[in-house]
Amino acid sequence: MTVTLVLGGARSGKSAHAEGLLDGTRPATYVATARRDPADREFDARIARHIARRPGCWSTVETADLRELFASAGPADPPLLVDDLATWLTALLDETGAWESGDLARVRERIADTVRALGDCACDVVLVSAETGLGIVPATASGRLFRDELGALNAAVAEVSTEVKLLIAGIPLRLR
C-alpha cells in the first residue's frame, strides 16, 4: 500500500497531477469531499470540469467519512483518490461548530482517527490538499484557525505518506 500526498496552492495543478499519478485505463475511486450547493453555479462548473477529465472507468464517491472509507478498503480494491483534504476539514469544522466555539478537541480526535485509518489502509491512496502555510497571516480568526488546522492535518498525513509532492506553477517538487 502506498500513500501519496499532493500539496499545492490555488490553481497550482495539484488535482490534475494527482489524477495523472493513477493509470487512467484501470479502475480507481475518486473521493470527492466538497459539499455541493445548487445555488453556487461557479463551484458547480468547477466540479463539472473535474468530472469531465476523469477516465470513464473511475467511480466517484462523495463522502465526508474518510476514516470509514480507509478502514473498509481491501487490498484488491482500486486505488482511492481523495480530492481534497481542505474541503474535508472545512466540513469537519462546520459539523463540530469549531468555527464559533474554538473548541478543536473533536476536530483533532476525528483527524487522528482518520490519519490512523489512512496509515492502515489496505489499498493505494492519493490525497490532494491545499498548502496554505506559504501565504500571509490571515486577517480573521477563522482564517488563522483554518490555516493552522490544515497545516497540522497536512503534517499528520505526510507522516504516514510514502510520497509527498508540492506543486508550484504546475511543476511537481518531490518532498519525499
The answer, yes or no, to whether residue 10 has pLDDT greater than 90, is no
Domain that holds residue 131: 3-174
**The pLDDT of residue 109:** 98
The answer, yes or no, to whether residue 156 has pLDDT greater than 90, is yes
- Three-class SS state of 24: coil
The mean pLDDT value for 142-171 works out to 96
**The pLDDT of residue 19:** 95
CATH at residue 11: 3.40.50.300
**The pLDDT of residue 47:** 81
Mapping DSSP onto H, E and C, the string for 90-109 reads HHHHHHHCHHHHCCCHHHHH
Catalytic pick among 50, 67, 106, 116 = 50
Q: What is the pLDDT of residues 112-127, one digit of tens each?
A: 999 999 999 999 999 9
Neighbour order of strands in the sheet with 125-130: 59-62, 29-32, 80-83, 125-130, 3-8, 163-168, 171-174
d(CA 40, CA 76): 37
Amino acid at 165: K
d(CA 63, CA 66): 7
Output the CA torsion sign for 148, 149, 154, 156.
positive
- Three-class SS state of 46: helix
Q: What is the pLDDT of residues 36-84, one digit of tens each?
A: 888 889 988 888 888 888 899 999 999 989 999 999 999 999 999 999 9
The answer, yes or no, to whether residue 149 has pLDDT greater than 90, is yes
Residue whose C-alpha is closest to residue 85's, from 58, 102, 101, 66: 66
**The pLDDT of residue 85:** 98
User: Among this protein's residues, is 17 annotated catalytic?
Assistant: no
Chain centre distance of CA 176:
18
Number of folded domains that form the chain: 1
Output the CA torsion sign for 161, 163, 168, 170.
negative
Instruction: Tell me which residue has cell 480507481.
Output: 28
39 close to 8: Cβ distance less than 8 angstroms: no
The answer, yes or no, to whether residue 150 has pLDDT greater than 90, is yes
The answer, yes or no, to whether residue 17 has pLDDT greater than 90, is yes
